């Protein structure tokens, strides 16, 4: 009946399946960080506060037993997805700003217009 409700349900089911697959493969601190990085935009659209909390949990994962961190992360992950994303952010998830482009000097020439370097002459 309600397409948005169905879409939210499917999104949560698929996210939970990805989480269970990660847990079944054996979670390490690195895999947890990779999983979080892959799902950070999704989490941020649903619940930015929980996303920040989970990011801090992953960042400090070395200070607590991994089993406890994984259990807390799984609960927080599903808690964040329980919160419906506002409609405008569902269409386009917020992104971090791109890093600034490196500055070029005004006198710099493109590589194609530079002369090829000369080889030193060998003495006879």
HEC profile of 16-42: HHHHHHHHHCCCCHHHHHHHHHHHHHH
- Residue 109 is given by DSSP the state -
Q: Look over the chain and give the mean of its residue pLDDT values, rounded to a whole number.
A: 82
Q: Which two tokens stand for residue 89?
A: 């952010």
Angular region, 26: left φ>0, alpha ψ -120 to 50, beta rest: left
93 pLDDT higher than 60: no
pTM: 0.66
- What's the token pair of residue 90? 């569902």
The more confidently predicted of residues 117 and 70 is 70
Per DSSP, the chain holds a count of helices (H) and strands (E) of: 5, 0
What's the mean pLDDT in 100-123?
65
Q: Contact, 93 vs 45, CB < 8 A?
A: yes
């Amino acid at each position: 009946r309600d397409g948005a409700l169905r879409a939210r349900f499917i999104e949560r089911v698929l996210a939970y399946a990805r989480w269970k697959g990660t847990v079944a493969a054996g979670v390490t601190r690195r895999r947890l960080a990779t999983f979080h990085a892959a799902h950070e935009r999704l989490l941020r659209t649903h619940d930015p506060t929980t996303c920040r909390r989970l990011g801090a949990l992953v960042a400090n994962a070395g200070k607590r037993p991994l089993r406890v961190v994984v259990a807390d992360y799984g609960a927080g992950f599903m808690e964040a997805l329980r919160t419906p994303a506002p409609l405008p952010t569902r269409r386009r998830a917020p992104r971090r700003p791109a890093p600034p482009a490196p500055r070029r000097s005004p006198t710099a020439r493109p590589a194609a217009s530079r002369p090829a370097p000369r080889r030193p002459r060998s003495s006879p």
